[in-house]
Structure 1
Amino acid sequence: MNTIVKDWHIVSIFDDEELIGKILWGICVDDMTFRFKTDDYISTSKIVEISTHNQLIKTANGSIYQVIGEGQNAQVQMKDFELLRNGFSPSQIHFLNSVTGKNQH
């Protein structure tokens, strides 16, 4: 196991209506690779495999994440992808778009 994640989302990234891919976004509980500190946000590379049996997620760069607790599904437009990469949660992005009047798909 590489990294344990809580408060996680499987985020579908769209360019208008076209699905670009899915990433994992969540909060670090423990990281055996020492890339993340406890309570850091994590925004992964593209998900290539999800094992619901043991709650493992593998990404394109070969990292493996164990998710704990209940996760959520979310959607973000490609134009907002950098917000994810900079630590904004999918919920925060949705809120920002709602108060600025940007459309969500």
Structure 2
Amino acid sequence: MKIRSNIYLLLSCLCGSLVFHSCKKDLGPIKENLTVREAVNSGGFMQIPVKIGTPLQINLAVNPGNRTVTDATYSNKHPEIATYSNTGLVTGLAVGKDTVTIRSGELNVWYIVNVTN
């Protein structure tokens, strides 16, 4: 359905039909977002996989542009499952799922951290 509407919009813009005004719609500036490069899509959610006993260094980026971020703070809901250093080193303590919120300047994002054996 989305592909069909995108094709219709493209054809409308090229042909100059009555919906031509939709091509000039101002979508505003693209907003930046904070991402974790190690995150993977699992079950429809972006998760950070961590194994107990194997610390994982989180590498942050600001998109668009994939610019590296080094100044961030980490807070989590379940400190009994995982800990986070101020440099982004995640250490799994117990099997389970934690939620980490990462902030850098005005940007923030949260991820599920899936700790396994």
TM-score clears 0.5: no
Question: Which structure's relative contact order is higher, taking Cα pairs within 8 Å and 6+ residues apart?
Answer: 1
TM-score by length of 2: 0.23
Q: Which structure has the larger Rg over C-alpha atoms?
A: 2
TM-score by length of 1: 0.24
